[in-house]
A and B are shown apart, each in its own frame.
Chain A
Amino acid sequence: MTPSSASGTRAALGPGTLEMLVLKTLDAGTMHGYAIAQYLERLSHDVLSVEQGSLYPALERLQAKGWVTSKWAQSPTGRQARYYTITASGRKQLGTKKTEYDRIALAIARVMRST
């Protein structure tokens, strides 16, 4: 993973998309920021390797919108970490985003496969 490839990926990943991915991740259960980053990397097989730091502004934004809440708790290693949980309206938002994404992805796929 070179910095240039990372920055290339980052450009393709708008803030809205990152938010959607975080919501999707948290849908699986409560976890802290680092875990979210690991999860995203692993699931996307490093293709979607975002600059990890940009996760935190996204988490703040999600909290400001009320889609995610957080709580400080002890991590398994004994350190204090902030654990994020998706809220009911966050799930609703995830649903909307997913439908929208499916529609667009389908549309793009149709266009790309034509000719």
Chain B
Amino acid sequence: MSLFDGLRYRLGAVIRPSRRARDIGREIAFHLELDAEQRAHASAGTLSRGDARIAARRAFGNPTYMQEEARRMTAVEWLDSVKRDLAFAARTFARAPGFTAAVVVSLGLGIGANAAIFSALQAMLLRPLPFSEPDRLVDVGLTRAGNPNRPAADDIVWSYPKFAMLRDAQHVFSNVGLYSADPVTVNGGGGTAERVDGEVVGGRYFKTLTVLPIVGRLFAPEELDRVGAPPTVIVSEGLWQRRFDADPSVIGRTLDIDGARHTIIGVMPSSFTGLSGRADVWMPIAAEYPAELTATWDLSFTMVARLAPGVTLAQAQDAVKTLGARIDAATPYPSARERWGASARPLDATRVDARVRRSLLVVAYAAALMLLAMTANVAGLLLVRAKRREHEIAMRVALGAGRARLIRQLLTESLLLSLAGGVAAFALAAAGVKLLSAFNPAASLRVQNLGGLGVVSFSRIRLDDFTLLAAGTLALITGLLFGLVPAMHATRASLAAGTRGRHGRSPRRALGIRGRGALSALEIALAIVLVTGSGLMLRSLRKLTDVNPGFDASRTLTMRLNLLADSSAVRASTSYYDRLLMGARATPGVTSAALTACPPLNGGCNRTFVELLDRPPVSSNDEPIVGVHWVTPGWFALARVPVLRGRDFSRGDVAGTRRAVIISQSAARALWPGQDPIGRPVRVGQGGFGKDTGLVVGVVGDVRYRSLDSAAAPDFYLPFAQSPRPAAVLFLRTAGDPDALRAPAERLVRDIDPKIPAFDVRTMDARAGDATAQARFGAILITLFAAMALLLATLGVYTVISSTVSTRMREIGIRVALGATRARVSWLAVTDGALVVLVGTVLGILAAFWSTRLLGALLFDVASSDPTTFVATIALLAVAAMTAAIAPLRRAARADPMTVLRQE
């Protein structure tokens, strides 16, 4: 109890120090007053009131001292002085707002940007995948040896029979599973028709990943691998909430998937969205695609496996290789002898594509360089500040301040700065991460081959404890290191050195300038590396956006449609499309409407073989592979793809008439070099030609279907009316804002058939923008970092020249007095700066040559040692350095000997 009395008493002193001080003051006043009264009373009138008071004071001792002593007793003195230090530091900063802002902003930007980028890196590359024991998961793929016609390939997807052979023969995995992304249209439950991502699965997909449903059960073995089982489905927690209000009695109810009723047997937790990234439904392969169970060469499924206990990755890789050869012997490639096999790699290695990995690392590298430049800048600022305060500190030492006390004061200032910088960094990092999570990778990075695991990883970007801790530590260390060193240094200054005068040239002072010079050279070198990198990225981006994609994306709205995939729907598709196009053309604002099967810049479209019937037949292995597209008449005109020869499809090209084929310019050049392709007879795979022959009726311009940086390949176009397809992309061109067509077009689709949703509704401009998203992302970030680094370098040069001028003002004054010319004096002032710039530039160019090689694979049509960029960088640096020199030079040149000398 009494212990608490004491604690409470101490606490009161900490919390309300002013009240405590007032109490003691009042008490002492009471004491003095009472004592004076008593004395006056006792003297019976011989002592005046004033004398009585003086006597009381004498008996009491020094009241102020006693008051201080009393306050010290409650041991709050230490805290009290910390508070005083903080208040003093705050006042010091308020007096130098420029300096304070520069340090806080530097720390905030440097550490904040790094924390945000590290968070992304952490989620995309470092943090383990969200499955139990993710390092035991393995990706198994088929391999194909190269031949003169086709390059070698590994990590090819599987057919079900080949998978079944591996599954039954292997002993290295505890579980193996198969999956394939399968987007579907969902109806039923609450809500309208919805297009969702799904997966068809086989083997022990869920058991391999060790995920369990939160409601219901997994697929039973007979549902997974036997043809004829009733259709069943497992749904995601998200879909369960959206369409079934998270009703636990959902098990046994039905969901309409692509027009077929499926019984719901389980609900997956929201933490699991499948290896394809965003799945909402899972169905057994056997029930959805029974023909796949026996189609040996239908390669469409990705295999995932879990290492059996005690088996190492190397052992599994050996076993898979052996099994691959056995599978190839049992199921050889049909028409020609091609050697196939199988290989395994950690699942983690497949999570992001090499290019995405590379650009993340490049951005992280650039951010780290910028952080280094920021740190150098902060160190320089603190160093210069410590120099400036040498005088003040020496004075305080002379007045009796203890060294430890002074260092504590200076450290308090550094830590306060670090804290402010840390808070700024945290705010920036949080904003950056929020920006990243607002970004929908599935829509925007599709073209960059961000795989399912990449999407899974991307969705997990957040500011984690580790990043925050690292950022906090970094802020603290920067503050301590660059606060402590100058503090020790400055307090060592003797009274004589410090008070000798502001412009005395002590050796230490020269050292300070040299330190600042070295930091400044470092900043210049870093700026050169970053500016060069940014220049290369920008040039590459410019070349990329200058690429003619072969079509006009402006004022066009696009949306995908998938007819329910039963055969009668496909046969009926022509009439559906006719009604759709008729309705679309009647929609106000629409100037033209047409369909295609695969939009440009899609990251790739269907490819197939083609038989050229005007020449002797070749083995099916040697038939040319081309891109195959389906369009309606008018699509070329709508997308402004020029018809170079012959004609567009017409309303007369319908089922029952001669099949018409249009080819791209590249196809004409590759297949009929120097000849007229019009009228040539062909048979195109996937077109449902059977024994029919099609005739080439036209040649159109090349369109980049894959990406801007991969050249157009030979393409063949077929009319929808002659080769029905269940999937299409509706293109609408308008004279106004294409986004304004969104609502009426979606209503139109719903009115024609409420069970068929329009999805992926985006302007063609947005699609084209996605094609440069990755290049833009990297270029913009690195350019931002480069701009900051350049600014810092300029400030650094300014500080060096400026402090040279300040320090040598007296010397300059004397020289001017002795008749030195302005030019001579200016040179004197600028030599230090010039040396710094020279050293920094040489170092920077060497570092840039080495660093920009990292960019190599990310650059489009620009060499990483591009001389133009390097020359431009040096020119930019030169301009920046000269700008920095102007103000201090003018100060030196204007030096008036009388004024300068009188200041001493």
The chain A residues found within 8 Å of chain B, CB to CB, are 1, 3, 6, 32-34, 37, 51-54, 56-61, 63-67, 69, 72, 75, 77, 79-82, 87-90
A46 to B9, CA, bound (A): 32
Within 8 Å CB of B3, what residues of A?
66, 89
A69 to B33, CA, bound (A): 23
Within 8 Å CB of B10, what residues of A?
64
Question: Smallest Cβ distance from B82 to chain A, in angstroms?
Answer: 18
Given contacts A37-B31, A88-B1, contact A66 B9 (CB under 8 A): yes
* A53: contacting residue among B23, B63, B75, CB under 8 A: B63
Contact sample, A vs B, 17 pairs, CB 8 Å cutoff: A1-B59, A3-B58, A52-B31, A52-B60, A53-B28, A56-B67, A57-B66, A59-B70, A63-B74, A64-B74, A66-B2, A79-B30, A80-B26, A81-B30, A82-B27, A88-B1, A89-B2
Given contacts A60-B70, A61-B73, contact A54 B5 (CB under 8 A): no
Within 8 Å CB of A51, what residues of B?
59-61
Closest to A49 in B: B59
A89 to B5, CA, bound (A): 10
Tell me, yes or no, whether B78 is within 8 Å of chain A by CB. no
Tell me, yes or no, whether B345 is within 8 Å of chain A by CB. no
Within 8 Å CB of B35, what residues of A?
34, 52
Contact assessment for A67 and B31 in the assembled complex, using a CB-CB cutoff below 8 Å: no
Within 8 Å CB of B23, what residues of A?
72, 82
Contact assessment for B71 and A69 in the assembled complex, using a CB-CB cutoff below 8 Å: no
A90 to B61, CA, bound (A): 27
Tell me, yes or no, whether B34 is within 8 Å of chain A by CB. yes
Contact assessment for A53 and B27 in the assembled complex, using a CB-CB cutoff below 8 Å: no
B1-42, CB < 8 A from A: 1-7, 9-10, 13, 23-24, 26-28, 30-31, 33-35
Tell me, yes or no, whether B675 is within 8 Å of chain A by CB. no
A79 to B29, CA, bound (A): 11
Tell me, yes or no, whether B72 is within 8 Å of chain A by CB. yes
Per-residue contact bits, chain B 103-131, to A (CB 8 Å; 1 contact, 0 not): 00000000000000000000000000000
* B27: contacting residue among A33, A54, A66, A90, CB under 8 A: A33
B35-85, CB < 8 A from A: 35, 58-63, 65-67, 69-75
Contact assessment for A34 and B31 in the assembled complex, using a CB-CB cutoff below 8 Å: yes
Contact assessment for B9 and A64 in the assembled complex, using a CB-CB cutoff below 8 Å: yes
Question: Smallest Cβ distance from B129 to chain A, in angstroms?
Answer: 57
Within 8 Å CB of A65, what residues of B?
6
Within 8 Å CB of B69, what residues of A?
54, 56-57
Closest to A81 in B: B30
Contact assessment for A64 and B1 in the assembled complex, using a CB-CB cutoff below 8 Å: no
Contact assessment for B59 and A34 in the assembled complex, using a CB-CB cutoff below 8 Å: no
From A63, A69, A79, residue with most partner B Cβ within 10 Å: A63
Within 8 Å CB of B72, what residues of A?
57
Closest to A10 in B: B61
Closest to B58 in A: A3
Closest to B37 in A: A77
Within 8 Å CB of B24, what residues of A?
56, 60
* A57: contacting residue among B1, B59, B70, CB under 8 A: B70
Within 8 Å CB of B26, what residues of A?
80, 82
* B71: contacting residue among A32, A60, A75, A80, CB under 8 A: A60
Total count of chain B residues near the partner, CB < 8 A:
36
From A32, A59, A60, A75, residue with most partner B Cβ within 10 Å: A60
Question: Smallest Cβ distance from B108 to chain A, in angstroms?
Answer: 41
The list of the 9 closest CB pairs from A to B, nearest first, reads A66-B6, A89-B2, A53-B66, A60-B73, A53-B61, A57-B69, A66-B2, A51-B61, A61-B73
Within 8 Å CB of B27, what residues of A?
33, 56, 81-82
Within 8 Å CB of A75, what residues of B?
30
* A-B Cβ contacts below 8 A, count: 97
A18 to B50, CA, bound (A): 30
A53 to B4, CA, bound (A): 27
Contact assessment for A66 and B30 in the assembled complex, using a CB-CB cutoff below 8 Å: no
Contact assessment for A64 and B75 in the assembled complex, using a CB-CB cutoff below 8 Å: yes
Contacts A61-B73, A82-B30 supplied; 16 other A-B pairs, CB < 8 Å: A3-B58, A32-B30, A37-B31, A52-B31, A52-B35, A56-B66, A57-B73, A64-B6, A64-B9, A64-B75, A69-B9, A75-B30, A81-B27, A87-B2, A87-B5, A89-B3
Within 8 Å CB of A34, what residues of B?
30-31, 34-35
Closest to A58 in B: B73
Contact assessment for B66 and A54 in the assembled complex, using a CB-CB cutoff below 8 Å: yes
Contact assessment for B6 and A63 in the assembled complex, using a CB-CB cutoff below 8 Å: yes
Contact assessment for B61 and A33 in the assembled complex, using a CB-CB cutoff below 8 Å: no
Within 8 Å CB of B4, what residues of A?
66
Question: Smallest Cβ distance from B76 to chain A, in angstroms?
Answer: 9
A112 to B442, CA, bound (A): 96
Within 8 Å CB of B58, what residues of A?
3
A72 to B23, CA, bound (A): 9
A3 to B61, CA, bound (A): 10
A80 to B29, CA, bound (A): 11
Question: Smallest Cβ distance from B714 to chain A, in angstroms?
Answer: 91
Question: Smallest Cβ distance from A14 to chain B, in angstroms?
Answer: 14
Contact assessment for B9 and A63 in the assembled complex, using a CB-CB cutoff below 8 Å: yes
A33 to B31, CA, bound (A): 7
Within 8 Å CB of B33, what residues of A?
79
A34 to B31, CA, bound (A): 5
Within 8 Å CB of B65, what residues of A?
53
Question: Smallest Cβ distance from B52 to chain A, in angstroms?
Answer: 14
Closest to A87 in B: B2
Contact assessment for B6 and A80 in the assembled complex, using a CB-CB cutoff below 8 Å: no
A67 to B4, CA, bound (A): 11
Closest to A63 in B: B9
B123-153, CB < 8 A from A: none
Question: Smallest Cβ distance from A3 to chain B, in angstroms?
Answer: 7
Closest to B72 in A: A57
Closest to B29 in A: A79
A65 to B69, CA, bound (A): 16
A61 to B464, CA, bound (A): 47
A26 to B67, CA, bound (A): 22
Within 8 Å CB of B70, what residues of A?
56-57, 59-60
A33 to B33, CA, bound (A): 12
A80 to B73, CA, bound (A): 23
A54 to B63, CA, bound (A): 9
A51 to B57, CA, bound (A): 10
Within 8 Å CB of B31, what residues of A?
33-34, 37, 52, 56
Closest to B59 in A: A52
* B2: contacting residue among A37, A60, A81, A88, CB under 8 A: A88
Question: Smallest Cβ distance from A61 to chain B, in angstroms?
Answer: 4
From B31, B66, B67, residue with most partner A Cβ within 10 Å: B31
A53 to B10, CA, bound (A): 21
B327-350, CB < 8 A from A: none
